[in-house]
Amino acid sequence: MTIFKKELRSGAMSLLIWSAVIGGFMAVCVGLYPSMEGGMGDMSVLFASMGDFSAAFGLDKLEFGSIMGFYGTECGNILGLGGGFFAALTAMGLLAGEEGGHTAEFLLTHPVGRVRAAAEKLAALAAMVLILNLACFACGAGGILAIGREAEWGKLLRYHAAVLLMHLEIGGICFGLSALLRRSAPGLAMGLSAALYFLELALNLDAGLEPLRFVTPYYYADAARIFSGEPAGLPLLTGCLLGAACAAFGLWRYTGKDIAA
């Protein structure tokens, strides 16, 4: 597990910063809820009547004045986008970064097969995504407890579990792409994650784009759908299979790839 530990050490600072920033913003948002609670009733009505804007962000399904609706709207976007960027950036640099940084020659001279090396990198990615999500859940849930509000913990746990799977799927996709590249492409990583997010907004606006629910993981990790009890079983299963398939492709591609000097 030497490579696994090395990747965790290398990514520790990035993980700490992303966890602190995303988790900190979530805690601050929850902390602002009591001061805004008095005027939330009028805001809920206003947001729910804003047509396409309400539909795009799920405000027509969430009661913005409740702690769950507020959490899903404010914290959900922060965690979904921020965690997606972290997973994509980290995954994109795992395999391509070795070649672009000219460290692959050093790695591949050791008595460790390519499959094992790539698999340990993939395991490190999964571990870092899990740690990020646990830290953000602790910040969000801790904030709710700190302000003395009662949340629907079952729904909250299902939401965070769906977000974790979403981040793992994005990481798996970018890991597969990383095996095709000669050097890390952070712009592509962030662009892909952002594109998947905006696909979900487009899907909310136009029911005719329903097939997109099998493309973007933001569909099954949408707080509005989860908190309103809307099932997302098939898109969730499809997303998990896609992420696993892309990760497996990355492992397979890396074993037969010509490593440039």
The pLDDT of residue 200: 85
Burial of 175 (0-12, 13-18, 19+ CB in 10 A): buried
* Cα–Cα nearest to 71, from 171, 169, 145: 145
Tell me how far CA of residue 195 lies from CA of 23, 84, 184, in angstroms.
Answer: 23, 11, 19
Burial of 146 (0-12, 13-18, 19+ CB in 10 A): exposed
The pLDDT of residue 20: 96
Q: Residue 119: enclosing H or E segment and its boundaries?
A: helix 114-146
The pLDDT of residue 74: 82
Mean pLDDT by 10 residues, the chain (261 residues): 85 95 94 75 56 56 77 88 95 74 53 76 95 96 90 92 96 91 84 91 78 88 84 87 94 73 50
Answer for the pair 171, 87: CB distance below 8 angstroms, yes or no.
Answer: yes
The pLDDT of residue 196: 93
The pLDDT of residue 127: 96
The pLDDT of residue 112: 62
The pLDDT of residue 145: 92
The pLDDT of residue 126: 96
The pLDDT of residue 35: 81
The pLDDT of residue 81: 92
pTM of the model: 0.88
Tell me how far CA of residue 188 lies from CA of 82, 89, 161, 173, in angstroms.
Answer: 15, 9, 26, 12
Query: For the chain, first and last CA: distance in Å?
Result: 26
The pLDDT of residue 109: 55
pLDDT, tens only, 185-231: 889 999 999 999 988 888 877 777 788 888 899 999 988 888 887 77
The pLDDT of residue 163: 96
